[in-house]
Structure 1
């Protein structure tokens, strides 16, 4: 009897304790309903298909000009916020914005020039994809295809290019799985003609009603992936009876420890779209019929799992075929680039590296350019130390 009495007493205590606990649980449940998550529960599963990336390069730079030391500063050379993912089984998106560029709304494409990509991608078939929005023009070459945070300095063509353009594109991977063909129709520029060329265009130039660019690209893979290509041709309609033709031939070779890239680029411009020649011939009429020819070579060798050595070599040649001076030399200058770099990866499971590199450039002007425009040969240097990382935060 004493045991039964103890059991009854224990049950009574348990019930008394359970009542306030149940009331508290009910209050907490009501509070949870009142303070719901900003992201609805039904949408939280979408986050598994979303990537948020901080494409970052930060460093300490010491600059030199013609052998003389100029200055040393800390600088955020690259910071591009990228968000990409899927919103449907066959629909994806990609957005990337650059925080190291002066913002300006394009008068033609009506989007900020800091926005690299703002596009939707639709899978029409397993091997065919359609894209629309502000896109990266498929201009070919590995200097262009590589993530910008890895390029300590671009060669002259890409350094003076506007290759984030609005339009549509389609890509198709062939059945062999080794070749991909791409085609895009884009706005040929981001601004109306006069703004694009800073109101410096030849008299009589008429703005085109269809200022479009047509870009084709072939990406191939051979010998078990040891040799790859990224070749492209682009036709840009700039104004009435005025255009630009651009060719890029990118080649990539890889072995166990070696990565080797070589790009050849050729740009023939009825109007000086890059503005390189125009900057040299100040005070002259807008430069017409210019040609730019470039070579770009990059070698990477992994000495140890955590140590990578990189060497970049590049040349650029500028020609002004439309110079009204009949005695002119068409070739104005040649520039050279040399960028030796050492990279150190401290973490096995994180794509973050410290780098130390020296960016050396030399500009050799023709005797005609020196005599006519007062140009002098020059060289620049920049010693840079810092970190490079595409930081995946989500």
Structure 2
């Protein structure tokens, strides 16, 4: 029996040794899922779930309509450095209907997908889909913090594909940005279709040029973001947008004020067009929007903030062919009081309660000629705001 045992041991020992060598080799050569050479990049990369969840209660003309839980905002974001001189940013919105039929080949749910290259110590060059630098602080604020937008930013397309060149002065108190972007994401046919006025055709180069200046004064207490944008929406139909954003911050108080003026040869916001559609089959021509937006934030306690947003917008149809016309058709108002409570000192998550009250006041001319009716809407929300940084 011993002879048989010794015999099998002599046969199997090389096999065991070979297996152990293979296991040892595998342990030595196996690579981690993220290579060590790449893992160091993660320290410069942020992965964020921009989230706003709420229980919403809706009202129309002071009458309760319905109540439900909503995922108001959910935008997945990845941003960071992939090289000493190369930065990237990607953000996708999952609370928006995907529309692949765009002129830039990116779904309209994609807010941003761009690269930024440091071409010089104070000069940066960006390519891809980015936020248009024509808005004031309302547009620059993280969308999860804005319960409702004013007219121009609400109905405008604010994320476009293109290129951007920015330059900061040596003191970094003044920054200049110049963008060349697509003027829209939809094709002309998809946006206007049969509503395009006679003689108005799609532009061969539907582009926009935007210039922006950001300034800082009084030790950073006062900041500005002023811009001018020129858009080629169609052949012989352009759009001019002026935006003046102002910010004051001191200790526990922050106040923002935006003024925006949009003059449009062809109504891109469609607010005026929707008013006159009872009598006119085409999109309105020669319209303008003038609006004001104010937001005040005050920290009454370390974990408790009070916010108040006020907004107004005036819509004009300057191209009205009626000899007895009144250009002014609508004044809209909005007020949003909000209370925020932050339970954690080391984690950016807030419980909030806010009410969005809006009113449309149509001019006598709009009521008499187009059947417009004044009305109010309301939304009472209780929820959570959190830019969840998981990496």
TM-score (normalizing by structure 2): 0.92
Tell me if 1:236 matches 2:227.
no
Deviation string 1:309-368 (CA, Å, 9 cap, x unpaired) is 000000010001111212121111101001000000000001110000010001101111
After TM superposition, give the deviation of residue 27 of structure 1 in Å: 6.5
Change in 2 beyond 3 A, CA 1:140/1:355: same
Task: Name structure 2 gaps, 5 residues minimum.
Answer: 1-16
CA distance in 2, matches of 1:257, 1:196: 44
Contact 2:351–2:385 (8 Å) recurs in 1: yes
Contact 1:302–1:308 (8 Å) recurs in 2: yes
Residue among 26, 32, 56 paired with 2:51 = 56
Once the two structures are superposed, the pairs formed by residues 348-367 of structure 1 within 5 Å of their partners are 348-367=345-364
Change in 2 beyond 3 A, CA 1:99/1:198: farther
Residue among 304, 307, 310 paired with 1:310 = 307
Q: Which residue of 1 aligns with 2:79?
A: 84
Deviation string 1:247-297 (CA, Å, 9 cap, x unpaired) is 110000011110000000000000001111111222412210000000000
Residue among 272, 276, 283 paired with 1:281 = 276
Task: Name structure 1 gaps, 5 residues minimum.
Answer: 1-21
Q: Which residue of 2 aligns with 1:194?
A: 189
Once the two structures are superposed, the pairs formed by residues 1-394 of structure 1 within 5 Å of their partners are 29-32=24-27, 36-283=31-278, 284=280, 285-394=282-391
CA distance in 2, matches of 1:370, 1:336: 17
Deviation string 1:120-178 (CA, Å, 9 cap, x unpaired) is 00001111110000111101310011000000000111110111111000110012220
Contact 1:337–1:360 (8 Å) recurs in 2: yes
Contact 1:54–1:80 (8 Å) recurs in 2: yes
Tell me how large the CA RMSD over aligned residues is.
1.8
After TM superposition, give the deviation of residue 40 of structure 1 in Å: 2.7
CA distance in 2, matches of 1:133, 1:326: 47
After TM superposition, give the deviation of residue 36 of structure 1 in Å: 3.9
After TM superposition, give the deviation of residue 108 of structure 1 in Å: 1.5
